[in-house]
Chain A
Amino acid sequence: MSGLGLHDAFLDRARHALGQEHLKQAVRRTTDRLRDGRAAASAEAGAFEAWRDALSEARRRAIGRLDVVLQAWQARAEARGVLVHHAVDAREACDIVVGIARAKGARLAAKGKSMLSEEIELNQALEAACVEALETDLGEWIIQLAGERPSHIILPVVHKPRGEIRELFERHGGEPLSDETRVLAGYARDRLRAEFLRAELGVTGCNMAIAETGSIALFSNEGNGRMVSTLPRTHVALMGVERIVETLADFAHLVRLLPRSATGQRVTTYVNVLSGPARPGELDGPEELHVVVVDAGRTAQLAERDYRDALACVRCGACLNACPVYSAVGGHAYGTVYPGPIGAVIEPLYARDDERRAELAEASSLCGACHEACPVRIPLHDMLVRLRQDNARRGRGGPTALALQRIAARAMAVPFVYDAAGRIARRAARLAAGGGQLGRWALGSAPVLRELLRRRALPDVPIRSFRELWDELEEER
């Protein structure tokens, strides 16, 4: 814990990440590729900005009357045979899924990729109940074999080099493999195929629910999400309470924007929309479809008007790829399930009293690139500023920083004081710079400055301020 009152866990993890050359390059390469893909897709689609407007409006409209939209969705889903459950927190959500697994006598739960499942730590709950939880998304499976956590919400395993993946698979299968992507993916296909057919329970997330038809939608590229929602006799989908649009017309905008924003694809390979379990006479598809609607801090966020728009998020990951901080340190440095700008906003909001998460609002340059990239135009940079204000108000900045900020606020409000303070600061900085090591040491060891410099680098000090330059220019004219 630093004198600033905020945890330094992010700083420590970020420094650690910056020391890992492979990680740095891999994350950078991935974010560059995804960002370029998104840029190309948005340039190609002439109507991109209009779609963003439409999806932003659709998401905010649904969230603005979430109670009746959920009710309408549930009525239609139940009419088609869906069993709808509600969970206030992670624990209740896990209990519900474990309860279903027990009732079905399930020994193996095959899982599609779900960030909500990571959030509620469902795998641990299932294992504790003696139900094997098997991740079947290639990236998630690798993460599970390695005993790690995803580092990107779309590409969970960006941080891992292929050599390590080969070693994991070799240890798993006990046979030598090559480093070729084709070979590694082929191994996963063969091994997991048998498990899909064996699993009694399929568990997935829910990219979006559609109120009009009482449906849930799953977007995927590999096809494992289709496997686990088609082959096991029971399918359980975890749905964040805010993940809903009102109409099929609204949903069309999501089909266009989610893949483009995430990977630059025009559409994902599979867009799978389920309205109830298999109907009489259907040869396959689950006999039972359960949807667990999970709150876990979301309605609390709904009540905070300043942050309500963050619930419009469609989890595309575009803000991660656009963020200079994420691109430099990767997802693990955040220490939370959701990394990057969206994580830095929603993670503290999900748990307002969690000091560890409060720190994440500082992990941003406030450049606004996240807002530019967001398909639903969430003003993430504004929210990050507001979260910092909240931190200061709650005394999380510590007495020193708060006092400094108060003084700065006063000084900035009075031109004369501001000028004078600037002159003094510039002279002191020049002195320090001129004094070389000694000067810098003196500056760095001033207790107040030392605290601030833990988190920020000092900008280069100009010889003359903008106002002084302006005055000179005025005189020359």
Chain B
Amino acid sequence: MEAQAFLARVSAALGGASAPWTPPDTRAAPSAPRRRVELLHLHAEFAAHLAKVGGTAELVPASNAAARAMELLGAGPRVHVGLELLPECVRAVVARGAAIGPDSDPLGWRAACAEAEWGVTDAVQLVAETGSTLLCANARRPRAASLLPRRHMVVAPLSRLVADLDEALTHLADAPSQWLLVTGPSRTSDIENDLTIGVHGPGVMHVLVVDEDEA
């Protein structure tokens, strides 16, 4: 049915056309950056909630981040996105090895993701309230890196922590083609209520929170 006719039916069911809709005011008041002690507090909350659903988060000083990332990633095949968006200290490590970046062709990219042991991504925000990471798709951040590999690693600086969902969502009014909250590994309880980890999505989710201010 034509859109106009369809909407006219809805208006008729409501008893007449409604007054025009006005979008909300989305200009968020500029907020001062959080103090480090506050961010550390939020990280503790974030890590605790993520742990409850089988994900893991660890806070590493920038000086140690590269070594830790290398230790975790091992030598297996991996893909990464948004390399230039990651904390500088880990870029070299993430880019090393058999990693394939988003410069590949679409089919090659997809195949590489499907083969990868690890998919490494950044996160736009880390949400303390739920232990969620917020990922946004764009030309530098294709989607499959957090979906097809067996394990998913998020690397983000401590400053990306926000308190709650309301705060996280205020940054999304400009609507990227996809935004995604990822909270822990893929799971199902469909078979006799028995929880299983890693059904279709990655079975491991690890968040490396880099403390760039640590002296």
B-contacting residues of A (Cβ < 8 Å)? Answer: 26, 29-30, 33, 64-72, 74, 76, 80, 84, 86-88, 92, 136-139, 142, 155-158, 161-162, 165, 181-182, 184-185, 188-189, 192-193, 196-197, 211-215, 221-224, 226-227, 230-231, 241, 246-249, 251-252, 255-256, 263, 265-285, 293, 295, 299-300, 302-303
Of all chain A residues, the one with the shortest Cβ separation from B196 is A185
Residues of A near B26 (CB, < 8 A) are 212, 248
Known contacts A211-B21, A271-B181; is-contact A221 B186 (Cβ 8 Å): yes
Q: List 5 tightest A-B contacts by C-beta distance, closest first.
A: A223-B201, A281-B139, A139-B190, A65-B18, A283-B142
CB of B106 closer than 8 Å to a CB of A: yes
A224 smallest CB distance to B (angstroms): 5
Q: Check B180–A271 contact: CB distance below 8 A.
A: yes
Residues of B near A142 (CB, < 8 A) are 190-191
Of all chain B residues, the one with the shortest Cβ separation from A74 is B3
A-contacting residues of B (Cβ < 8 Å)? Answer: 1-3, 6-7, 9-15, 17-21, 23-24, 26, 49, 52-53, 102, 104, 106, 109-110, 114, 130-132, 137-139, 142-144, 147, 165-166, 169-170, 172-173, 175-194, 196, 198-202
Which of these, A87, A181, A213, contacts B175 with CB under 8 Å? A213
Q: Check A67–B106 contact: CB distance below 8 A.
A: no
Residues of B near A156 (CB, < 8 A) are 190
Known contacts A64-B14, A285-B177; is-contact A252 B182 (Cβ 8 Å): no
Say what secondary structure dominates the interface of chain B.
Answer: loop
Having A64-B18, A162-B192, A185-B188, one finds 6 other A-B pairs with CB under 8 Å, namely A66-B18, A72-B21, A212-B173, A213-B175, A283-B109, A293-B6
Residues of B near A270 (CB, < 8 A) are 180-183, 186, 201
Q: Check A138–B199 contact: CB distance below 8 A.
A: yes
Q: Check B201–A295 contact: CB distance below 8 A.
A: no
Residues of B near A280 (CB, < 8 A) are 139
B39 smallest CB distance to A (angstroms): 21
B19 smallest CB distance to A (angstroms): 7
Residues of A near B172 (CB, < 8 A) are 213, 248, 273
Q: Check B192–A161 contact: CB distance below 8 A.
A: yes
Of all chain A residues, the one with the shortest Cβ separation from B191 is A181
A5 smallest CB distance to B (angstroms): 29
Residues of B near A300 (CB, < 8 A) are 13
Q: How far is the CA of A33 from the CA of B194 in the complex (A)?
A: 11
Question: Can you name 17 A-B residue pairings with CB atoms under 8 Å?
Answer: A67-B7, A138-B199, A181-B194, A185-B191, A185-B198, A212-B24, A222-B188, A223-B202, A255-B130, A267-B183, A270-B181, A283-B104, A283-B142, A283-B144, A285-B142, A299-B13, A302-B10
Q: Check B199–A284 contact: CB distance below 8 A.
A: no
Known contacts A30-B193, A185-B188, A252-B165; is-contact A215 B21 (Cβ 8 Å): no
Q: Check A284–B106 contact: CB distance below 8 A.
A: yes
Residues of B near A227 (CB, < 8 A) are 147, 200
Residues of A near B12 (CB, < 8 A) are 299, 303
Q: Check A70–B179 contact: CB distance below 8 A.
A: no
Residues of A near B13 (CB, < 8 A) are 299-300, 302-303
